Amino acid sequence: MKQRVEMIVEAVEKIALDTVEMKLSNDHVAKNAVPGQFLHLQVEGHSLRRPISIADVDAEKGITTILFKELGEGTKRLGAYQPGMRINALGPSGCGFPYQDKSIQKALLIGGGIGVPPLYNLGKELSNHGIEVISVLGFQTKDSVFYEAEFSQLGETHIVTDDGSYGHKGFVTNVLGSIDGYDYYFTCGPIPMLKAVKEKLADKPGYISLEERMGCGVGACFACVIPADNESGYRKICKDGPVFPANEVIL
Amino acid sequence: MKQRVEMIVEAVEKIALDTVEMKLSNDHVAKNAVPGQFLHLQVEGHSLRRPISIADVDAEKGITTILFKELGEGTKRLGAYQPGMRINALGPSGCGFPYQDKSIQKALLIGGGIGVPPLYNLGKELSNHGIEVISVLGFQTKDSVFYEAEFSQLGETHIVTDDGSYGHKGFVTNVLGSIDGYDYYFTCGPIPMLKAVKEKLADKPGYISLEERMGCGVGACFACVIPADNESGYRKICKDGPVFPANEVIL
Amino acid sequence: MDLSVNLPGLKLKNPVMPASGCFGFGREYSEFYDLGKLGAVIMKAATGEGRYGNTTPRVAETSSGMLNAIGLQNPGVEKIIANEVPFLAGYDVPIIANVAGSTLEEYVKVASAFNKTKDVHALELNISCPNVKEGGIQFGTEPEMAATVTKKVKEASNLPVYVKLSPNVGNIVAMAKAVEQAGADGLSMINTLTGMQIHLGSKRPLLANKTGGLSGQAIKPVAIRMIYEVKQHVSIPIIGMGGISSAEDVLEFLLAGASAVAVGTANFQNPFACPDIIAALPEVLHKYGFHSVEVAIGKGHEA
Amino acid sequence: MDLSVNLPGLKLKNPVMPASGCFGFGREYSEFYDLGKLGAVIMKAATGEGRYGNTTPRVAETSSGMLNAIGLQNPGVEKIIANEVPFLAGYDVPIIANVAGSTLEEYVKVASAFNKTKDVHALELNISCPNVKEGGIQFGTEPEMAATVTKKVKEASNLPVYVKLSPNVGNIVAMAKAVEQAGADGLSMINTLTGMQIHLGSKRPLLANKTGGLSGQAIKPVAIRMIYEVKQHVSIPIIGMGGISSAEDVLEFLLAGASAVAVGTANFQNPFACPDIIAALPEVLHKYGFHSVEVAIGKGHEA
Ligand SMILES: Cc1cc2nc3c(=O)[nH]c(=O)nc-3n(C[C@H](O)[C@H](O)[C@H](O)COP(=O)(O)OP(=O)(O)OC[C@H]3O[C@@H](n4cnc5c(N)ncnc54)[C@H](O)[C@@H]3O)c2cc1C
Ligand SMILES: Cc1cc2nc3c(=O)[nH]c(=O)nc-3n(C[C@H](O)[C@H](O)[C@H](O)COP(=O)(O)OP(=O)(O)OC[C@H]3O[C@@H](n4cnc5c(N)ncnc54)[C@H](O)[C@@H]3O)c2cc1C
Ligand SMILES: Cc1cc2nc3c(=O)[nH]c(=O)nc-3n(C[C@H](O)[C@H](O)[C@H](O)COP(=O)(O)O)c2cc1C
Ligand SMILES: Cc1cc2nc3c(=O)[nH]c(=O)nc-3n(C[C@H](O)[C@H](O)[C@H](O)COP(=O)(O)O)c2cc1C
Ligand code: FES
Ligand code: FES
């Protein structure tokens, strides 16, 4: 049976423009989370929960890290939470990035903006399993860049900014051509980026992580469906995803 | 012009069953409040403000004390506020107990339950002006009794409980017969008590403080009217009251 | 940033005004700020004679909203003209009179009474007050009745008439079209949704009137939907209302098709609601790419 | 404390069930708790053929509520009977099938399909889904249409039929009386209020379907009012819903006249909403002086 999950805020830090790193303690989550899963967080005063990816876990200490951008009222309110406060969570939710059953030698991680967080947890796991990691991370501007050092520790890391204020200028797809030798790609970010990546890397197997507005977050309400090439014609992002084989979903 | 008033919670203490004493700092309120006035407090997560009487003020320190019973969700939430938190308030609101223009020698204060708080501020002021004070305070049970010591410092104080678990048994009206020699009475409490008091003391001049569910709390919405013996046929509790001459309003 | 809006009878310096019944006749809020800052003031409902209204309790709190059953308490149209209009006329702000009644004759009487004063700039015809039992409810839910009262009031008055629609109908577009055809100069929408709260302790409806009108943020999605639908079918301007409490809300109403907005319940939470919203509006408009209020009106409709 | 309630076709061990569309076919929440704890389960709407529903976004957050425009996505009645009903039948809980359609024929087809299984105990006739464009909306807003579909479904089905009413009408009592006369065994109310949210960034309605159904605590006062009004005019039982999130809310609905209740949006906030409410109910009933659910039903009406 799934449990009630209450997480305690351990630390809150602004790590980039409007971007918050929050450490939450709860043994159940930290022990069971796999890369690509998310937490469905209840933010005080809001009727719908907010889905936020698990960016890192320390299973031993029982700590889960999330990284989120303060966009609307819910994430702003969440960013104002103080250490010691409690957050009701659903999770770890959804299905993560599959990598264990594939014999991957080298993986390419492609993240855009708030799509970067789940890739960090994945990159660490891959690394721990001896898989080489290359990361291409896109941000809007220099101010928005985060976790460059963290990703660099995992392997070759390319930063791209829309306006060129840091790293390469343009979109993540601009640098993909210069990278090779990987078996699988894993990507998460805004839909236009995912589409471009999927097209550009059509000859490679890959996994993409999707976002959609959610109701229940557990698969019961059909809010978060995405058309798919399967019998039913759809998949639910909250339950069947958020990670899907790139060729399975129709963007 | 009336101002925006933000008060800072300085202390919160349970002083009786479900009864909270809260000290709030704000110079404007503490300097201007007169006995009988109230604060219209915005409680987080609630669409309507909560009217709570001013129970005590320390003008020098800028501290206002309120005493309230945790009844519904709003007062429960308010009772959970922690020192340092801010509360948006309207006030000091309404018209207080008039006493300065009357040449009072001895005043009788009659309070019931959460009607007791405004009488404390009044009693202190009367005392400061050399007016003798007798208090009759009614509570449901022993557990609910509060501020007995404080009132006793002002003068003769009779405690009455519905079930006789402390002080006299019964209603405040039971002990009124044995008290005499006062010029004016001042009363606040539930409507049935006010009615009984008004009837019993029909031959004495008195002032009663009323409660009603409020919308605006400033006189604009006509939520809190009470039928009155005047030209318009009504008075607004939030603006014209909450204190009225006993013979003016129709209970 | 140009916040001005011109509507029949109303030159508004900005599109934000307090909603009828939530602002009395302005006296109380004039103690908080200069009423001249407002786009306009809509007065509390006026009836032919003074009314005491319903017994109390008259209000109840709900999630993100409130119920009210004031029952049109007011001193009557003559006293309003004699005592209240002159007070408001002392400010540089257009005055809108909210006209209510239980019978056709009463509506006409109240409307024509306002011909006497030069200080009222438009009428808001309240055919939708859900708390009037004698018949007010029918005017607001039957297109023909609404058209009839609109026509009669237009004939009797020399002022532009904004008809205030009730959301308690199956087909809001039919209501809007009916009053437009009957000569309404504008629409005002929405009034409150009829609701009820039962008090668990007494086991009875909390409001003495049993039912009351639901207002506040809770009803905003209904207001936006109705304005959006109506905008596609009428050409007279709409004063939008229902749960507005921020400049972002104002923009949402403009996009849906409102030309101006009224703020009701939010005044109770924050007596400075109207001036706060007006002060924040230029930045919000700018943030979303608008250089005036006029250009934002109805922009949510374009393909 | 006796929580049981007996309704046509339904022996409920307690009056609390998940609302249609907010609980899928029970699989997801069965991972949180034993579905046998529930009073009943109302399945997601079934249509004649499978439907994909609307494009996304399908939900939006509102103050104390949400908008949804799922668009009746479901695998179709045959697959529901083959794959979903057997799963739910594994629990000791009555099953209610929510029947939807765009045409009279589709309603009849879906309703009669459920005759095949012994595991469904009642039908909830969803004549009120505001997100079906082809015609579903008319069934729920015209008394005669509602009566017709009720009659046809009653003829086609051997199960008790609870007709689910839309709140988007001017006269809810007329709707209730019409379907009662047409043979409905019970009522289910309310469905969602039609609403809209406009996204300031895109300047367009946020939901791909533009309008959506407003649910959650925001609409509770409207639900209570409608149930209270209807209770005074019909004698068939009412399953009440609209914003329920606590045992206190359940009691408020019982007092208003509901014989049982459904919990929708609250499941999304708290997946344990239903069992939590059921667990809290005895104490709440006791606190307000009731020794069973049955005695509380309609108690808000007595003088
Ligand atoms: C599986 C998943 C993982 C995510 N991981 C992260 C992460 O690690 N870091 C991060 O910053 N963001 C992440 N997001 C996006 C994040 O959920 C939204 O930014 C957030 O919900 C916005 O809430 P708000 O209150 O700021 O915005 P508002 O616009 O006020 O929210 C209104 C409603 O829309 C929903 N909503 C708005 N934008 C999105 C969106 N992009 N995706 C889904 N729902 C949305 C909200 O949840 C809420 O229900 C993730 C989304 C999904 C679906
Ligand atoms: C002028 C005045 C002074 C007051 N002074 C005090 C005081 O010093 N100490 C104290 O404990 N209480 C006082 N009260 C009563 C206090 O306002 C209510 O107990 C409180 O509002 C209840 O809020 P709630 O959230 O607990 O209850 P809920 O029932 O959840 O409140 C729902 C709504 O009803 C209103 N309401 C409920 N009960 C009352 C009531 N008795 N009077 C007015 N509104 C009510 C609430 O304000 C709110 O709008 C005073 C009331 C008035 C009018
Ligand atoms: C306490 C109160 C009194 C009201 N009185 C009137 C009235 O007299 N005439 C009228 O047309 N509308 C009246 N209304 C409705 C408001 O003008 C407005 O249409 C409605 O409240 C929705 O706006 P809001 O959500 O911003 O409050 C009243 C509303 C409230 C809350
Ligand atoms: C996401 C969602 C999907 C819904 N789908 C259906 C449905 O398929 N059939 C139906 O009759 N009602 C449907 N409803 C309406 C609910 O059953 C219920 O009547 C309404 O939401 C009010 O209850 P609530 O406020 O507790 O959610 C749906 C509601 C939501 C929020
Ligand atoms: S959010 Fe409800 S099914 Fe995914
Ligand atoms: S609360 Fe609005 S007039 Fe008193």
ipTM associated with this complex = 0.96
Distances (CA, A) of B91 to B27, B209, C200, D20: 12, 17, 31, 47
- With cut-offs at 50, 70 and 90, classify the pLDDT of residue D131: low
Q: H helices within D99-246, ranges in order?
A: 104-113, 136-141, 143-156, 172-181, 220-231
- With cut-offs at 50, 70 and 90, classify the pLDDT of residue D164: very high
Determine the Cα–Cα distance for residues B15 and B123; give it in Å rounded to an integer: 19
Residue C65 contacts B where some CB pair is shorter than 8 Å: yes
Determine the Cα–Cα distance for residues A208 and C119; give it in Å rounded to an integer: 65
Tell me what pLDDT residue A101 has: 72
Half-sphere exposure (Cβ direction) of C210: Cα atoms closer than 13 Å: 13
Determine the Cα–Cα distance for residues C215 and B78; give it in Å rounded to an integer: 24
Does residue C203 contact residue D255 with C-beta atoms inside 8 Å?
Answer: yes
Tell me what pLDDT residue C137 has: 53
Cβ contacts of residue B75 below 8 Å, gap of 6+? B20, B43, B50, B68, B69
Whether D6 has a pLDDT exceeding 90, the answer reads yes
A221·D269 Cβ contact <8 A: no
Indicate which ligand has the atom closest to the C-alpha of A93.
1
pLDDT (tens digit per residue) in C37-49: 999 999 999 999 9
For residue C204, list chain D residues with Cβ-Cβ distance below 8 A.
Answer: 300
Whether D133 has a pLDDT exceeding 60, the answer reads no
**Minimum Cα–Cα distance from A46: chain B residue:** B45
**Range C208-229 burial, b when 16+ CB lie within 10 A, else e:** ebbbbbbbbbbbbbbbbbbbbb
User: Is residue A133 classed exposed, middle or buried when 0-12, 13-18 and 19+ CB atoms within 10 A define those classes?
Assistant: buried
Indicate which ligand has the atom closest to the C-alpha of A38.
1
Q: Which of C12, C113, C129, C175 does the annotation list as catalytic? A: C129
User: Is residue A230 classed exposed, middle or buried when 0-12, 13-18 and 19+ CB atoms within 10 A define those classes?
Assistant: exposed
Whether C215 has a pLDDT exceeding 60, the answer reads yes
Average pLDDT over residues A79-97: 95
Residue entry with tokens 């297109």: C143
C265·B42 Cβ contact <8 A: no
For residue D67, list chain C residues with Cβ-Cβ distance below 8 A.
Answer: 221
Among all residues of D, which ones are annotated catalytic? 129
Please calculate the CA angle A54-A56-A57 and round it to the nearest 5 degrees.
100
DSSP string covering B39-93, please?
Answer: EEEPPTT-SS-EEEE--EEETTTTEEEEEEE--SHHHHHHHT--TT-EEEEEEEE
- With cut-offs at 50, 70 and 90, classify the pLDDT of residue C136: very low
B238 annotated to bind ligand: yes
pLDDT (tens digit per residue) in C85-135: 999 999 999 999 999 998 889 999 999 999 999 999 999 999 976 555 554
Please calculate the CA angle D258-C215-D242 and round it to the nearest 5 degrees.
25
pLDDT (tens digit per residue) in D83-93: 999 999 999 99
Q: Which of D62, D204, D224 sits opposite C198 (nearest CB)?
A: D224
Whether D291 has a pLDDT exceeding 60, the answer reads yes
Determine the Cα–Cα distance for residues B35 and B105; give it in Å rounded to an integer: 18
- With cut-offs at 50, 70 and 90, classify the pLDDT of residue D136: very low
A216 annotated to bind ligand: yes
Does residue D107 contact residue D97 with C-beta atoms inside 8 Å?
Answer: no
For residue D243, list chain C residues with Cβ-Cβ distance below 8 A.
Answer: 63
Chain centroid to Cα B131, Å, comes to 19
- With cut-offs at 50, 70 and 90, classify the pLDDT of residue B152: very high
CATH number of B3-93: 2.40.30.10, 3.40.50.300, 3.90.1150.10, 3.30.470.20? 2.40.30.10
**Minimum Cα–Cα distance from B220: chain C residue:** C24
Tell me what pLDDT residue D137 has: 54
Whether A1 has a pLDDT exceeding 90, the answer reads no
For residue D50, list chain A residues with Cβ-Cβ distance below 8 A.
Answer: 232
Tell whether ligand 6 has an atom less than 6 A from the beta carbon of residue B219. yes
CA distance B47 to chain A (A): 12
pLDDT (tens digit per residue) in D257-269: 999 999 999 999 9
A235 annotated to bind ligand: no
Token pair in block for residue A33? 């989370």
Q: Which of B48, B216, B234 sits opposite C61 (nearest CB)?
A: B48
CATH number of A106-211: 3.40.50.80
**Minimum Cα–Cα distance from D223: chain C residue:** C195
> Which residue type sits at B168?
H
3-state per-residue secondary structure call for C40-89: CEECCCECCCCECCCCCCCEEEECCEEEECCCCCECCHHHHHHHHHHHHH
Residue entry with tokens 């999707």: A210
Average pLDDT over residues B239-245: 94
CA distance B193 to chain C (A): 18
Neighbours of chain A (3+ CB pairs under 8 A): B, D
Determine the Cα–Cα distance for residues C35 and D147; give it in Å rounded to an integer: 53
Does residue C69 contact residue C206 with C-beta atoms inside 8 Å?
Answer: no
pLDDT (tens digit per residue) in A120-142: 999 999 999 999 999 999 999 99
Average pLDDT over residues A12-28: 96
User: C119: helix, coil or strand?
Assistant: coil
How high does pLDDT run on average in chain B?
A: 94
Percentage of residues in chain D having pLDDT higher than 70: 96
**Minimum Cα–Cα distance from A71: chain D residue:** D201
Strands B19-25 and C122-126: unpaired
Q: Which of B1, B46, B88 sits opposite C61 (nearest CB)?
A: B46
Domain spans of chain A, in order of start: 3-93, 106-211
pLDDT (tens digit per residue) in B192-229: 999 999 999 998 999 999 999 999 999 999 999 999 88
Tell me what pLDDT residue A12 has: 97
Token pair in block for residue D250? 């359940």
Identify whether B242 is preceded by a cis peptide bond (ω within 30 of 0).
yes
Determine the Cα–Cα distance for residues C246 and C233; give it in Å rounded to an integer: 27
Measured from the CA of A66, which atom of ligand 1 is nearest?
8
Query: Is the pLDDT higher at D138 or at D48?
Result: D48
pLDDT (tens digit per residue) in A26-57: 999 999 999 999 999 999 999 999 999 999 99
Chain centroid to Cα D185, Å, comes to 15
pLDDT (tens digit per residue) in D29-58: 999 999 999 999 999 999 999 999 999 999
Binding residues of C: 20, 44-45, 68-72, 98, 126, 164, 190-192, 216, 242-243, 264-265
A45 annotated to bind ligand: no
Percentage of residues in chain D having pLDDT higher than 90: 93
Whether B36 has a pLDDT exceeding 90, the answer reads yes
Q: Which of C216, C221, C248 sits opposite D196 (nearest CB)?
A: C221
pLDDT (tens digit per residue) in C241-272: 999 999 999 999 999 999 999 999 999 999 99
Tell me what pLDDT residue C129 has: 62
Ligand 3 center to residue C19 CA distance, Å? 6
Residues of B with CB under 8 A from a CB of A: 44-45
Determine the Cα–Cα distance for residues D265 and D216; give it in Å rounded to an integer: 5
Whether A77 has a pLDDT exceeding 80, the answer reads yes
A217 annotated to bind ligand: no
For residue A45, list chain B residues with Cβ-Cβ distance below 8 A.
Answer: 44-45
Q: Return the H-helix or E-strand segment holding D278.
A: helix D273-287
Ligand 3 center to residue A68 CA distance, Å? 40
